[in-house]
Structure 1
């Protein structure tokens, strides 16, 4: 593959990152996501964090309850980010 094509594939793929579910205390958790891809959307990131949180709680036989959300929309020089703090009830 030519170097120009490789660069294009890397550029279009972007770079999404997640913390995964992290314990922040007694039955409290957080998960955070960021995506610097050209087509990244805050809505998709929020949906993915909620799915992660819901799956984590479902694995315990419980449901997810949102405690706090922090969102940073895309702007000049800023990639979209979202952080979800939750508990399982």
Structure 2
């Protein structure tokens, strides 16, 4: 499988890790608010819900970027093979 160069792969993994940490933090805040352990300002719960809905979309977009990069790499590899046969 065609992969990203190491520096790009590291950055993508860093982004994935940060997205995961953000999601965990959002879930912890929402859980604490629902359990009445913390009180959120008016409208903050709605903002948390929006973030919880948006994060999977961001992860999907990131995966689409990775998939497109791989498709491009495969096309380049095939073109290389065809010209060198």
TM-score under structure 1 normalisation? 0.29
**Could you tell me the TM-score, scaled by structure 2's length?**
0.30
> Which structure has the highest strand share of the two?
1
Bigger CA radius of gyration: 2
Higher relative contact order (CA 8 A, sep 6+): 2
